[in-house]
């Protein structure tokens, strides 16, 4: 069964909109874990507009499930990772002002930079994952960076799924098969939802983990957090 990691950034966004500590981000992380999530994902950005660096520290002390920190590997980010030592770090090529992730790494152009960052993670015994598009050359070059896994950027799949699921999934299936041939672990994330998750999971070989935030937290407004997490888990079973 593919593991579900819940990205709780949107809960922090809601808290920050009003100030104070409602909703409580740490409690939300624990609740997600208790409701069945097999991982918690956070994506701290330099302006701390949602998850704050202090949130990252405090969540570490209250969860027992897998902890995934994603983000652009600036020096401040890498210092935080070195302090927290999460189970996994997902490297994302976001500029500081990005609203959300919009593309994967060019592992050819950025190879030397990624090699250096991933070597630093390996020294700290932290599993690495590279956020990446379905470009097969980028996936093949990802192997040369030393990364443990790749995370497929699934927004193009989600955008095209409603009109043509077979076409939407085709490039992702090919990318997954190539990653497996190379011995790379396979994650996926971005705009996966209750509407498109099952089809993706059923058609992507070797999928280890999905990271889902925006759609899941939005669904929780209607269905409740526990019920929503259970619905997502059923899509992955």
| Catalytic residue list contains 50 | no
Instruction: Supply φ then ψ for residue 94, to 5 degrees.
Output: -75, 135
Residue 101: its pLDDT value, please? Answer: 62
Give the CA dihedral 204, 206, 212, 216, nearest 10 degrees: 70
Q: Which of 43, 50, 66, 151 is an active site residue?
A: 43
Q: Does residue 104 contact residue 73 with C-beta atoms inside 8 Å?
A: no
- The C-alpha atoms of residue 106 and residue 132 are separated, in whole angstroms, by 8
Q: What is the pLDDT of residues 132-172, one digit of tens each?
A: 999 999 999 999 999 999 999 999 999 999 999 999 999 99
Catalytic site residue from 50, 66, 70, 151: 70
- CB of 232 within 8 A of CB of 25? no
| Whole-number pLDDT of residue 56 | 98
Catalytic residue among 50, 66, 151, 190: 190
Domain 3-236 is classified in which CATH homologous superfamily?
A: Aldolase class I (3.20.20.70)
Per the model's pLDDT, the better-predicted residue between 47 and 226 turns out to be 226
Q: Kindly state the helix (H) or strand (E) to which residue 185 belongs, with its residue range.
A: strand 185-189
Whether cis (ω within 30° of 0) applies to the bond prior to 124 is no
Which residue spans within 13-154 are E strands per DSSP?
39-42, 66-71, 88-91, 127-132, 149-153
> What percent of the chain stands above pLDDT 70?
97
């Amino acid at each position: 069964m593919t593991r579900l990691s819940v990205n709780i950034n949107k809960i922090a966004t809601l808290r920050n909109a009003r100030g104070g500590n409602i909703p409580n981000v740490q409690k939300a992380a624990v609740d997600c874990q208790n409701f069945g999530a097999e991982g918690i994902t956070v994506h701290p950005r330099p302006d701390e507009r949602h998850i704050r660096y202090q949130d990252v520290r405090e969540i570490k002390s209250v969860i027992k499930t897998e902890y995934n920190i994603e983000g652009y590997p600036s020096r401040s980010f890498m210092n935080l990772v070195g302090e927290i030592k999460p189970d996994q770090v997902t490297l994302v090529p976001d500029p500081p002002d990005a609203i959300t992730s919009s593309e994967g790494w060019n592992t050819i152009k950025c190879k030397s930079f990624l090699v250096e960052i991933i070597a630093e993670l390996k020294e700290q015994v932290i599993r690495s994952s590279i956020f990446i598009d379905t470009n097969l050359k980028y996936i093949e070059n990802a192997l040369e960076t030393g990364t443990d896994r790749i995370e497929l950027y699934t927004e193009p799949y989600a955008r095209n799924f409603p009109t043509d699921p077979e076409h939407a999934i085709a490039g992702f299936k090919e990318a997954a098969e190539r990653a497996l041939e190379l011995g790379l672990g396979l994650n996926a994330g971005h705009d996966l939802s209750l509407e498109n998750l099952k089809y993706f999971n059923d058609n992507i070989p070797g999928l280890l983990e999905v990271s889902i935030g925006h759609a899941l937290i939005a669904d929780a407004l209607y269905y409740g957090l526990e019920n929503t997490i259970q619905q997502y888990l059923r899509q992955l079973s």
